[in-house]
């Protein structure tokens, strides 16, 4: 049995004996009716914990003069998210006029995008397949075995690489979604 959720680290302390206490803070809906499972895990007395940052950092290429992105993302007529080269810039911008700007977005937004939207796969790895299995309650160990990965950490590494690949697209989707929600 495993639980996957996003949380913030509220606090951690080290006592005189070297024991570490970590307090996580999450919205009540984050465990969506899984408090019974959490209680069972607590009763087991020992759990395996993997903590990783939910912030995905990626690089966006921009025109050094205008700071406009060299590429952007939009839905095509079929509803599929695609990468579009900024034509205004591509005529004037040489490789030496492009700078890289660091951007960040949280993994939960990217995961939401990967689960709900249409997009072209950028490699043979399908992140949606993994995220669907996680949502169904399978552990990363089980999914890794099913998909012939050496370990859960190898699968997680591949998933995080995919998150970086789709981060810009997910950010564009989220901004459109937020604008639609405000209207």
Q: Is residue 3 in a domain?
A: no
DSSP string of 80-149? EEEEEE-HHHHHH--GGGEEEEEEEEEHHHHHHHHHHSEE--SSS--HHHHHHHHHTT--HHHHHHHTT-
What are the distances in angstroms from CA 130 to CA 25, 31, 114, 125, 143?
Answer: 25, 19, 10, 9, 7
Provide the residue range defining the domain that includes 175: 55-182
Residue 88 has pLDDT above 70, yes or no: no
Same domain, 113 and 132: yes
Q: Is residue 1 in a domain?
A: no
Q: Is residue 50 in a domain?
A: no
Total domains in the fold of the chain: 2
Per-residue confidence band for 167, with pLDDT thresholds at 50, 70 and 90:
very high
By percentage, how much of the chain surpasses pLDDT 90? 55
Kindly tell me the burial class for residue 112, based on how many C-beta atoms sit within 10 Å of its own C-beta (0-12, 13-18, 19 or more): middle
Q: Is residue 2 in a domain?
A: no
Same domain, 96 and 171: yes
Q: Is residue 108 in a domain?
A: yes
Q: What is the pLDDT of residue 32?
A: 75
Same domain, 105 and 167: yes
Residue 139 has pLDDT above 90, yes or no: no
By percentage, how much of the chain surpasses pLDDT 70? 94
Mean pLDDT taken over the chain: 88
Cβ count within 10 A of residue 163: 23
Report the pLDDT averaged over residues 155-173. Answer: 95
């Amino acid at each position: 049995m495993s639980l996957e959720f996003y949380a913030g680290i509220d606090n951690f302390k080290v006592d005189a004996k070297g024991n570490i206490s970590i307090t996580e803070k999450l919205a009540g809906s984050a465990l969506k009716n899984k408090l019974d499972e959490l209680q069972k895990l607590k009763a087991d007395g020992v759990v395996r914990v993997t903590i990783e940052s939910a912030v995905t950092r990626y690089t966006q290429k921009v025109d050094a003069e205008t700071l406009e992105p060299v590429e952007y993302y939009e839905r095509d007529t079929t509803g599929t998210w695609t990468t579009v080269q900024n034509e205004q810039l591509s005529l004037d911008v040489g490789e030496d006029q492009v700078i890289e700007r660091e951007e960040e977005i949280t993994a939960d937004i990217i995961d939401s995008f990967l689960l709900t939207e249409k997009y072209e796969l950028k490699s043979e790895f399908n992140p949606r397949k993994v995220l669907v299995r996680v949502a169904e309650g399978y552990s990363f160990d089980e999914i890794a075995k099913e998909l012939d990965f050496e370990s859960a950490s190898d699968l997680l590494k591949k998933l995080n690489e995919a998150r970086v690949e789709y981060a810009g697209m997910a950010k564009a989707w989220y901004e459109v979604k937020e604008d639609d929600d405000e209207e």
